[in-house]
Amino acid sequence: MSFGPARRVELCGVRCDVRTDHDEFGQYLADHFPDAGAASDGAADIAVDVRWSEGRPAARTPGALFRGWPVETRIDRHVYLGPRHVLWLRIDDAPEIALACEREAHRRRYEVRYDFSPGAAGWRGAVKRTLAHRQLKRLRRARFSTLTYYAVYYPVWWHLEAARAAHPLHAAGVVLGERAIVLAGLPGVGKSSLVLGLLGTTGAELLSDNVILHDGEHVFGCFEPLLLDAAARSALGGALDLVPLGRRHVWNRDAYHVAHRANGVVAGHVVLLARGARTRLEPLDPAACARLLLAVDVAAKEVRRYHVFAAILGMAEPDGLAGAAERAARLQKLCASVPCHRLVVREGAPHEALALLAELSPTVREAAQ
């Protein structure tokens, strides 16, 4: 199949032009990024071509997967280096994906391949493929979220981090009074529930409920649709203007667009979340908070996968790794500049946690005055 027209996605100030030969994935991107439009004449910071293949996977060799990308050195079973580029033929956490990246001055070019197969080889795989035939469309769509990270989010984060501009953090962010409350923690600790509760506050603005970026002082939202189940929607009432995307994710959560804060703000508080027998808010040493946030990034899938992505691409861009090395130092700076807290949330009682967060909100507003 031939590529469709390039779509311009602007994320965190980075211009990313994406083309794909898969119509369904192209529509997914158009729905996922509502402000994306046709690529303009202005030069993009990143250009990405996404190829989708089905049936028998291509041989895992540089020439079979990426023609026109000459290689000189093999540094891993699946990683090759060329004059100005890197080829990653099999991503450990997403083995269906292979990618190539080349840096051209301040611009980067990517080619991403996805080999889709609903079943493994052998007779068991044949049975699974037969049973899955009627669900192929759903199975394909289930892969689009991961592919979007490798085709858009990770290239944008690497572009920023290699330029020493910003670093990703697995956390949510809400702006109150021109200061951000950062809510960090592993998946399932209740970040999204607290974000939704805070967004019911007059004047509150969403940065993100999943991943934010920071430069050691400012916090930037990384746009993603909100994933809400029926209980979350009911709790919101009419507090937010939700635009449904018409797609369902795991845990019966539907995707919605909601207004996000586009520009960065100064952090006001950093809150590390956990669950426990009773709800309590306690101060946390800034250095300990920074170390725990780094641990969260290693454990949380979305950012952990990015760190591997950045390490592989840094093999071809050693100067970019200098930016990645600043992650810990800037996170320590961020935590040292604001009050840090640990918030333990009792199961099924987010209202108790919100009441404690409300005690922080006035100080956030006062800091902005």
Does residue 197 have a pLDDT over 70?
yes
Does residue 366 have a pLDDT over 60?
no
CB 302 within 8 A of CB 210: yes
283 CB neighbour count, 10 Å cutoff? 10
Secondary structure letter of residue 47 according to DSSP: E
What does the alpha-carbon distance between residue 57 and residue 96 come to, in Å, rounded to a whole number? 9
What does the alpha-carbon distance between residue 153 and residue 148 come to, in Å, rounded to a whole number? 7
What pLDDT, on a 0 to 100 scale, did the predictor assign at position 122?
47
pLDDT band at 111 (very low <50, low <70, confident <90, very high): very high
Over the chain, what is the mean pLDDT?
A: 89
- The amino acid present at 199, given as its one-letter code, is L
305 CB neighbour count, 10 Å cutoff? 19
What does the alpha-carbon distance between residue 328 and residue 146 come to, in Å, rounded to a whole number? 26
- List, for residues 112-163, the tens digit of each pLDDT value: 999 987 655 544 555 455 555 557 777 888 899 999 999 999 999 999 999 9
Does residue 365 have a pLDDT over 70?
no
- List, for residues 10-36, the tens digit of each pLDDT value: 999 999 999 999 999 999 999 999 888
237 CB neighbour count, 10 Å cutoff? 8
CB 185 within 8 A of CB 191: yes
What pLDDT, on a 0 to 100 scale, did the predictor assign at position 310?
97
What pLDDT, on a 0 to 100 scale, did the predictor assign at position 123?
41
Best CA proximity match to 339, nearest among 165, 186, 215, 179: 179
Q: Which of 138 and 199 is assigned the larger pLDDT?
A: 199
What pLDDT, on a 0 to 100 scale, did the predictor assign at position 44?
93
Nearest 5°: the CA angle 11, 14, 16 is 80
Domain boundaries, the chain: 7-162, 167-223+260-368
Does residue 279 have a pLDDT over 80?
yes
Secondary structure letter of residue 59 according to DSSP: P
What pLDDT, on a 0 to 100 scale, did the predictor assign at position 252?
83
Phi and psi at residue 146, in whole multiples of 5°? -60, -40
What pLDDT, on a 0 to 100 scale, did the predictor assign at position 236?
75
**HEC readout, the chain:** CCCCCCEEEEECCEEEEEEECCHHHHHHHHHHCCCCEECCCCCCCEEEEEEEEECCCCCCCHHHHCCCCCCCEEEECCEEECCCEEEECCECCECCEEEEEEEECCEEEEEEEEEECCCCCHHHHHHHHHHHHHHHHHHHHHHHHHHHHHHHHHHHHHHHHHCCCCEEECEEEEEECCEEEEEECCCCCCHHHHHHHHHCCCCCEEEECCCEEECCCEEEECCCCEEECHHHHHHHCCCCCCEEEEEEEHHHEEEEECCECCCCEEEEEEEEEEEECCCEEEECCHHHHHHHHHHHHHHCHHHHHHHHHHHHHHCCCHHHHHHHCCHHHHHHHHHHCCCEEEEEEECCCHHHHHHHHHHHHHHHHHHHC
Phi and psi at residue 321, in whole multiples of 5°? -65, -25
pTM of the model: 0.92
Of all residues in the chain, the percent with pLDDT exceeding 90 is 67
Mean pLDDT of 220-244: 85
Which range in 184-198, 209-223, 249-263, 348-362 is most confidently predicted, on average pLDDT?
A: 209-223
Mean pLDDT of 234-247: 82
pLDDT band at 358 (very low <50, low <70, confident <90, very high): confident
What pLDDT, on a 0 to 100 scale, did the predictor assign at position 138?
78
- List, for residues 333-355, the tens digit of each pLDDT value: 999 999 999 999 998 898 899 98
Mean pLDDT of 80-100: 95
